[in-house]
């Protein structure tokens, strides 16, 4: 079974769509949530022996508003500006949380408070691929300021528990 969770158009050629994974045998796919409005699943068999156990699954259409926090940044598939004047607290999620996250993406969240405020970020669930202590592959970088040129607070990967980060100022 092949799964394509990053399809942007239900009529698009699957050969031009990022591949989400191939599954066979008794290993079940992890939870999958589409990044867009489409998931393609392709089921293949051949003329060899097949067992009576094929597969079963469930589906649910969910509202994507929980993945859009703040104002969408222009010209970015996955970028948001969260301003305290609009919402003082809330939740932010990776694009397909709690499912497998997409490959080769970059997401940005910029949190902006008032001049006399600091920003507190708490990660309740953090589980990215761990490629070593320097996080050379999948990671989250946090900067203490309004852009990626600000001082680096830290680079995080792997499993993090009770990760809480504070800014030194309002952006």
Instruction: Please report, for the chain, the start and end positions of each structural domain, with discontinuous segments joined by +.
Output: 64-166
Class of domain 64-166: mainly beta
**pTM for this prediction:** 0.70
pLDDT digits over 46-78, tens only?
677 666 666 677 778 878 777 778 888 888 888
Specify the residue for token string 């499993």: 159
C-alpha pair distances (Å), 100 with each of 29, 32, 152: 9, 6, 27
Give me the residues of the chain with pLDDT under 50, please.
none
- pLDDT of res. 163: 93
């Amino acid at each position: 079974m092949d799964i394509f969770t990053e399809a942007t158009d239900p009529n698009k050629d699957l050969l031009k769509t990022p591949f989400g994974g191939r599954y066979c045998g008794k290993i079940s796919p992890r939870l999958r949530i589409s990044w867009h409005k489409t998931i393609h699943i392709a089921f293949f068999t051949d003329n060899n022996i097949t067992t009576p156990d094929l597969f079963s699954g469930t589906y649910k259409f969910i509202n994507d508003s929980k993945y859009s926090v703040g104002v969408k940044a222009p010209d970015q598939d996955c970028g948001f500006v969260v301003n305290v004047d609009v919402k003082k607290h809330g939740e932010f999620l990776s694009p397909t949380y709690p499912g497998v996250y997409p490959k080769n993406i970059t997401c940005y969240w910029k949190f902006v408070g008032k001049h006399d405020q600091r920003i507190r970020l708490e990660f309740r669930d953090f589980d990215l691929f761990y490629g070593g202590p320097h996080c050379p592959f999948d990671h989250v970088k946090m900067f203490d300021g309004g852009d990626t040129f600000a001082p680096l607070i830290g680079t995080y990967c792997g499993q993090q528990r009770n990760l809480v980060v504070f800014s030194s100022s309002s952006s």
